[in-house]
A = this chain, B = another copy of it.
């Protein structure tokens, strides 16, 4: 019957698209099937050594025999064993034993003593990589914010011209969103805790049996094993598994890390639509197979796409948190096989793309100047309002007067009744505001300075970014790979 798996033993040719097209090799290495098997074997060996060190009768040669074959990974053979046992860990135990010619690993252990800790190790290493890469993005935001700190642009709220700001400040704004997420991620790492060797229902019964109920030896065993993992803390009261809320905590932090970049990418797409800035367009690049003139913000779009993807994986993680039955069930098993690596591939791809955009983007000062000219009188209405208020006019009264003229001017502009924004001429003739033409002219001419505290704010951001760069020194030199 062709509608079904013809054979369990044919390895699929369908690649993981997130790993294949978008993630870095560093992230791929953490989550490859072969790499994981080696991590597991190293974990078993670490347990063996600790057990031996604490007095269990495990011959030195046996440990050596396991070590000798630990990199000898044959996925096909393991898969054949699993087709019989229907139990993936049992299959991998048998394979490793068979290679080493011994039956000493996994003593006092349940499957989850192995898999939970090894998966946490993969998560931990991924978090370290993400911490470095997100900090590299923060530094890139900072570099660009510095570069553009003097470039005055038309700030927009509700997608409509509002007040002037600088492009540097705009970048710092998205940067600060990212910065908060980096701080959150660091905090999650600081609280991260390994499940440790807790046994089948979390009571450490079998290790205690092995060590004749000597609790302090079992405690030392666990300490050594957690030290092998390099994870800062370990959990105390668990069942078969660590609480799945921990996976949710991690994946929701990844989603938060994507928020600042996603807002930035959306804004750069908007700016590109106004020709104010672009993400860069390389020699040889094609924007559209139909329309030769197209230069699309395809990398920014991709960043937004990754954020949607992360939301999907977060949803999977959320579906597991709070769904534990008794000491643990593993309806989470297939979900975590998919969600954990793919969430990390997605965030990794997001940062690879973001770093590329931050490297290649550029602003178009001429177009920016053109936009500013059109909107400048509008951008200054609050300045006029403050002037009128200081003149003694009631705030809401002045607001109403200015609104009357501004809305009329805007309508004339949109209807092409006028070609230039003449709001200030209109305001000068309205006695209710009590502002002279001269004074209004003065406001208009010093408008270039109407960016308020934008400049010192950028300086503050740069200082913060620098300080994070010092926490993650590898971030400074990190460059994205070539993206597709």
- Of A246, A296, A478, chain B has the most CB atoms within 10 Å of the CB of A296
> 13 A–B contact pairs at CB < 8 A?
A12-B20, A84-B285, A85-B286, A93-B396, A104-B395, A107-B386, A156-B201, A158-B329, A163-B200, A180-B193, A184-B188, A206-B290, A258-B322
- A window 217-257: CB within 8 A of B: 218, 235-240, 243-246, 248-249, 252, 255-256
Nearest Cβ in chain B — how far from A374, in angstroms? 9
Residues of B within 8 A of A402 (CB): 292-293
Q: Flag if B338 contacts A17 (CB, 8 Å).
A: yes
Query: Which listed residue, B184, B312, B349, B452, touches A203 by the CB 8 Å rule?
Result: B452
- Of A106, A193, A239, A397, chain B has the most CB atoms within 10 Å of the CB of A239
Nearest Cβ in chain B — how far from A142, in angstroms? 11
Q: Flag if B326 contacts A177 (CB, 8 Å).
A: no
Interface size class of A (residues with CB under 8 A): 35 or more
Q: Tell me the bound Cα distance from A19 to B334 in angstroms.
A: 12
Query: Which listed residue, B157, B180, B218, touches A453 by the CB 8 Å rule?
Result: B218
Q: Flag if A270 contacts B159 (CB, 8 Å).
A: yes
Is there a chain B Cβ closer than 8 Å to A121's Cβ? no
Q: Flag if B333 contacts A208 (CB, 8 Å).
A: no
Q: Flag if A18 contacts B338 (CB, 8 Å).
A: yes
Q: Flag if B4 contacts A11 (CB, 8 Å).
A: no
Taken together, the copies of this chain in the complex come to: 4
Is there a chain B Cβ closer than 8 Å to A359's Cβ? no
Residues of B within 8 A of A260 (CB): 243, 245, 322
Is there a chain B Cβ closer than 8 Å to A117's Cβ? no
Is there a chain B Cβ closer than 8 Å to A467's Cβ? no
Query: Which listed residue, B97, B403, B454, B460, touches A286 by the CB 8 Å rule?
Result: B403
Is there a chain B Cβ closer than 8 Å to A434's Cβ? no
Query: Which listed residue, B79, B454, B477, B484, touches A86 by the CB 8 Å rule?
Result: B484
Query: Which listed residue, B111, B246, B266, touches A325 by the CB 8 Å rule?
Result: B266
The 9 closest A-B pairs by CB, nearest first: A5-B481, A262-B322, A203-B452, A366-B416, A293-B406, A110-B290, A205-B452, A4-B481, A155-B201
Q: Flag if B157 contacts A201 (CB, 8 Å).
A: yes
Residues of B within 8 A of A245 (CB): 177, 180-181, 256, 259-260
Q: Flag if A293 contacts B403 (CB, 8 Å).
A: yes
Q: Flag if A32 contacts B17 (CB, 8 Å).
A: no
Residues of B within 8 A of A104 (CB): 395
